[in-house]
Amino acid sequence: MVNTPPSQASETQYQVENPQAEVEAIIETPDSDADIDLEFLYTRDIEFRQETIYFIVIDRFHDGNPGNNKGFNSELYDPEKKEWGKYWGGDLKGIIDKLDYLRNLGVTAIWLTPLFEQVEELFIESAAIHGYWTKDFKRLNPRFIAPDDEPSLNKTQDTRNTVFDRLIEELHKRNMKLILDIVCNHSSPDTGGSKGELYDDGVKIADFNDDKDNWYHHYGEVNNWEDEWQVQNCELCGLATFNENNIQYRNYIKSAIKQWLDRGVDALRVDTVKHMPIWFWQEFNSEMYNHKPDVFIFGEWIYSRPDDDLSVEFANNSGMTILDFGLCMALRQALGTNDEAGFYLINDVLKQDYRYNGATELITFIDNHDMHRFLTLNPDVDNLRLAVDFLMTSRGIPCLFYGTEQYLHNDTNGDNNIYGNNDPYNRPMMDTWDTETPIYWDVRKLSGLRRLNPAISMGSQWEKYITPDVFCYVRRYNGSRCFVALNRGDTVTLEEVDTELPDREHTCVLTGRKFEVKDGKIYNFELGAKEAIVISHVGERLKAQTIVRAQLNGVQTQLGERIVVIGDCPELGNWDIGKAYPLEYINPNTWFAEIPFNESAGKLISYKYVMLREGTSPLRENLLARRWVIASEGTVKWRDTWASGTES
């Protein structure tokens, strides 16, 4: 169900879910910990922040159909898997074959490298195995599908029985989601004299070298990365760069992506977002949300950082969240290259969460196809495990690069540079499928916990103890808590550490170790070398016909000040401030609450936020009340920004 905004709408990204199954599962699932019933928690209707993402380079995952390996140009295929720039055979059937492996790992959403039809030539000794040199955004790369699927038999988007459709079906059958990687910034580089030849379901529509209709920018390569105009208009690595001012181009790319959404794609990962102006993304995203209201979208702003104004501005105003490169680099320094500042580096990034409107929605990761694999930085598998355990329990939505759980890495040309790009050696063929590795098990357990415990997916993060080697933190939301302790060094004993857990004996989800909590603390807390401890406590969850996840940004509160929401309906106290609904502090820029609606589900309501201050009168927002039609069922989001207050 969609919340329908009346004319004066708050800044809201629609999110349509049916939380019933989720909420019931959470209420009935026992508050532990060691024994999470994963099956019970699998539902496609989960909030995206509860997902565990797994990123796959399709060609390097699994060859499920050797019949498609040669594609249109057999020269680009290397059956020996020695030439790293050539295709090695992975395909969509291979992914279908491994879906049970992935689901068992706890993966709930897979992000696939772009699967559109690519140029079939080598460029700097590399074929487009990665999928970022598109020829036709409406067709699939023939190497990833079945030989008689589109487009070789000239089937079009109307065809609905391809291996792609089967992949979606098989994913959805398992309550898993598909994230499609899309590229709006560019098509292809110069291969054999042709550049940017673009097709619309088989019909040629543009050509960089014969650009009568101005589909492309022609300003040459970016040479000053500090110049925003150049970054947005010039070329990246010789790739033909689309001219977003051309409405034909915009209609083409939007219609192409909508077709994939219609075929069942659940979410989008968007390439090179810093290379196009924000207005393009705002227009593009609103159109995607109108077309498929519950689509989740995140972008790649390369090397985004919380202290980089442009990337933060993009995350806050473009309509999509972003991949969290800032946290990734801190993790790589702290646990990859063992920087002496250790966990302080990570904490310094978290301390800047207030710069984002939605820090809990950032996509977190430790490596990807554009940088050295973590194990190439540091072959210590215990450090890798600590990094993964952090990702799975910290704020943000974790994304694992394929093979992490199998310790997959190839160190050719490896070095210890956290920014280094050892493409293509970071894209080895997945070759083992061991379901008993320690990381496989950690991910499995913690992915279940992300769905079980809302403090992990939506809550605030509180530092409890920190040194370069030891980091203890609590995730907190409503009555739920998750206490995490990570130790990169030798065994230590902490005299006491605050856990915020209820007083009783608790069991660590990962190790099964038992801990007595008294006054909310663990005394004489012994943490083994390279050990990770995770203790979860799930409070009572909401049950309602409609749940509104209300997020308020931009309000500066001092100690003792609280935010509530009041409105003209019983759920919001009928304007009686004594009955207003409380929001919870997430960080200095974000207050959040899940608000249950029963009586007013399906009705038009008015509301505004109020700051309650000790010893003085409440400060109400200074605006005509916000108005909203509450969905008749399901879960929806309000994204509001505090309107300056007026004394009352």
Q: What is the binding site for ligand NOJ (CB under 6 A)?
A: 130, 132, 183, 271-272, 300, 369-370
Distance (Å, rounded) from C-alpha 392 to C-alpha 400?
A: 10
Secondary structure element (H or E) that encloses residue 30, with its range:
none
When CB distances are held under 5 to 8 angstroms depending on the partner's kind, the choice from ligand NOJ, Ca ion, none that residue 91 binds is Ca ion
Residue 69's binding partner among ligand NOJ, Ca ion, none (Cβ under 5 to 8 angstroms by kind) is: Ca ion
Shortest Å distance, C-beta 518 to ligand NOJ:
49
How near is the Cβ of 269 to ligand NOJ at its closest, in Å? 9
Buried b or exposed e, range 272-301, using 16+ CB within 10 angstroms: bbbbbebebbeebbeebbeebebbbbbbbb
CA distance 564 to 613: 11
Residue nearest to Ca ion (CB): 91
Of residues 59, 300, 353, 571, which has the active-site annotation?
300
Closest CB to ligand NOJ: residue number: 132
403-to-57, 334, 364, 370, 432 alpha-carbon distances in Å = 10, 21, 17, 15, 8
Q: Among ligand NOJ, Ca ion, none, what does residue 89 contact (CB within 5–8 Å per kind)?
A: Ca ion
Q: Which entry of ligand NOJ, Ca ion, none binds 271, CB below 5 to 8 A by partner kind?
A: ligand NOJ
Query: Which of the ranges 86-94, 112-120, 413-421, 423-431 carries the binding residues for Ca ion, by CB under 5 A?
Result: 86-94
Closer of 72 and 462 to Ca ion (Cβ): 72
Of residues 141 and 368, the one with the C-beta less far from Ca ion? 141
Please name which of 356, 260, 591, 287 lies closest in space to residue 458, comparing C-alpha atoms.
591
Q: Which structure tokens are listed for 486?
A: 């990570």
Closest by CA position to 174, among listed 62, 44, 56, 40: 44
Q: Considering the complex, what minimum distance in angstroms separates the CB of residue 141 from Ca ion?
A: 11
For Ca ion, the binding residue among 3, 13, 29, 65 (CB under 5 A) is: 65
* φ, ψ of residue 291 in degrees (nearest 5): -75, -40
The 25-64 site mask, x for binding Ca ion (CB under 5 A), equals --------------------------------------x-
Report in angstroms how near the CB of residue 230 gets to ligand NOJ at its nearest.
Answer: 16
User: Closest approach of Cβ 68 to Ca ion, in Å?
Assistant: 5
| Min CB(147)–ligand NOJ separation in Å | 27
At a CB cut-off of 8 Å and minimum separation 6, what does 128 contact? Answer: 118, 119, 120, 188
Strands (E), 321-439: 321-322, 363-364, 397-401
Residues in CB range of 611: below 8 A, 6 or more apart? 555, 557, 561, 562, 563, 618, 619, 645
Residue 601: CB atoms within 10 A of its CB come to 20
Residue whose entry in the numeric block shows the structure tokens 């659940």: 266
The span from the CA of 346 to the CA of 336, in Å, is: 12
List the one residue from 69, 188, 333, 600 that touches Ca ion (CB under 5 A).
69
Residue 141 contacts Ca ion per CB under 5 A = no
Residue 311 in tokens: 């990337």
The least distance separating ligand NOJ from the CB of residue 58, rounded to whole angstroms, comes to: 13
Is residue 194 within 8 A of residue 207, CB to CB? The reply is yes
Distances (CA, A) of 216 to 101, 128, 239, 249, 557: 43, 20, 10, 9, 47
Is the torsion defined by CA of 201, 203, 205, 209 positive or negative?
positive
Residue 235 interacts with, from Ca ion, ligand NOJ, none (CB under 5-8 Å by kind): none
Indicate the residue among 284 and 638 with the shorter CB distance to ligand NOJ.
284
Closest to ligand NOJ by CB, 271 or 324? 271
**CB nearer ligand NOJ, residue 369 or residue 620:** 369
Among positions 71, 89, 454, 459, the unique one binding Ca ion when judged by CB under 5 A: 89
| Residue 22 Cβ vs ligand NOJ, minimum distance, rounded to whole Å | 32
Out of Ca ion, ligand NOJ, none, what residue 65 binds, judged by CB under 5 to 8 A for its kind, is Ca ion
Instruction: Determine if residue 557 is left, alpha or beta; phi over 0 gives left, psi from -120 to 50 gives alpha, anything else beta.
Output: beta
Please give the structure tokens belonging to residue 272: 């090179």
The H or E element containing residue 99 is helix 99-105
CA distances from 428 to 56, 187, 369, 373, 399 (A): 11, 25, 10, 10, 18
3 state SS for 500-547: CCCCEEEECCCCCCEEEEECCEEEEEEECCCCEEEEEECCCCCCCCEE
- 69 vs 318 by CB, closer to Ca ion: 69
- Give, in order, the Cα–Cα distances in Å from 269 to each of 51, 176, 363, 394: 14, 16, 10, 21
Strands 521-527 and 492-498: antiparallel
Query: Of 121, 150, 235, 271, which one is the catalytic site residue?
Result: 271
Of the candidates 146, 145, 143, the one whose C-alpha atom is nearest the C-alpha of residue 130 is: 143
Q: How far is the CB of 270 from ligand NOJ (least distance, A)?
A: 10
Closest contact distance (angstroms) between CB of 69 and Ca ion is 5
Among 13, 68, 321, 447, binds Ca ion (CB under 5 A): 68
- 90-119 binders of Ca ion (CB under 5 A): 91
300 annotated active-site:
yes
Residue 63's binding partner, choosing from ligand NOJ, Ca ion, none, with beta-carbon cut-off 5 to 8 A by kind? Answer: Ca ion
**Out of Ca ion, ligand NOJ, none, which partner does residue 272 contact, by CB within 5 to 8 A per kind?**
ligand NOJ
Q: Which is nearer to ligand NOJ, 89 or 189 (CB)?
A: 189
Cβ proximity to Ca ion, 69 vs 185, nearer residue: 69
Q: Of Ca ion, ligand NOJ, none, which one sits near residue 422, judging by CB under 5 to 8 A according to partner kind?
A: none
Q: How many amino acids of this chain bind Ca ion (CB under 5 A)?
A: 6
132 binds, among ligand NOJ, Ca ion, none (CB under 5 to 8 A by kind): ligand NOJ
- The nearer residue to Ca ion, 91 or 324, going by C-beta atoms, is 91
Q: Which stretch binds Ca ion (CB under 5 A): 84-92, 212-220, 274-282, 315-323?
A: 84-92
Q: Are 207 and 196 in contact (CB under 8 A)?
A: yes
| Residue closer to ligand NOJ (CB basis): 370 or 498 | 370
β partners of residue 191: 194
Binding residues vs Ca ion (CB under 5 A) = 63, 65, 68-69, 89, 91
Known catalytic residues? 271, 300
